[in-house]
Chain A
Amino acid sequence: KAGVTQTPRYLIKTRGQQVTLSCSPISGHRSVSWYQQTPGQGLQFLFEYFSETQRNKGNFPGRFSGRQFSNSRSEMNVSTLELGDSALYLCASSLIGDSPLHFGNGTRLTVT
């Protein structure tokens, strides 16, 4: 069974640009959540999608958005990038909302 796949693995962008990250969950998993990981703040929740609906959103500005498709694949978008957006972005899928999280290996975003 294939794990959670995130693309791309590495990304370098400049301030003001926008970026789209992709996440393919484990087959059959309907819940996808996104997290930002930085050395200073640790692992912080961005948002969760279940059956194409955003169920919850963390404390991040509106520049961070996401969506989920009918096949459960998910994308997150960050517009008007800032230096502080440099981080490892992790996606996790779960069978239903309460089941354990299965993480991808993340996308390392560097904003210069």
Chain B
Amino acid sequence: TQLLEQSPQFLSIQEGENLTVYCNSSSVFSSLQWYRQEPGEGPVLLVTVVTGGEVKKLKRLTFQFGDARKDSSLHITAAQPGDTGLYLCGVRVGNQFYFGTGTSLTVIP
């Protein structure tokens, strides 16, 4: 059983559309991170959310941490081809880092 479940698994949209991806768990976390991985590269940290209900914005990306700190969402406004990639949520539990199953996003020009 995966600690973090992400949905949808795959997403293909037209440039300019909006989208939301989700990261869910039944466990409570002290913080949660979102990463983006482009083909041929390693994941790159986008944001860390710490407080329940917290909302963070990174240009057209909006991240929210659930009130109960069990889930998180990533909303992209007016998606661009440069947003294409694998989006991963991750949490540290003890000395181990766990990643979600990932959402593969393709933005078509």
Contact = CB atoms under 8 A, between A and B. Distances in A.
Interface string A14-36: 00000000000000000001010
Contacts, number: 50
Contact of B42 (A42, A44, A55, A103): A103
Contact of B45 (A43, A55, A101, A106): A101
Interface of B: 33, 35, 40-45, 48, 88, 90, 92, 94-102
Q: Per DSSP, are chain B's interface residues mostly helix, strand or loop, or mixed? A: strand
A100 B33 contact: yes
Nearest to B47: A100
Max count, chain B CB within 10 A of own CB: residue among A35, A42, A48, A97: A42
A105 B43 contact: no
A11 to B, nearest CB: 15
A98 B92 contact: yes
A58 interface: yes
Given A43-B99, A56-B95, A98-B92, A90 B42 contact: yes
B89 to A, nearest CB: 11
Contacts of A48: 95-97
Given A98-B92, A100-B33, A45 B97 contact: yes
Contact of A43 (B92, B96, B102): B102
Contacts of B48: 100
A56 B42 contact: no
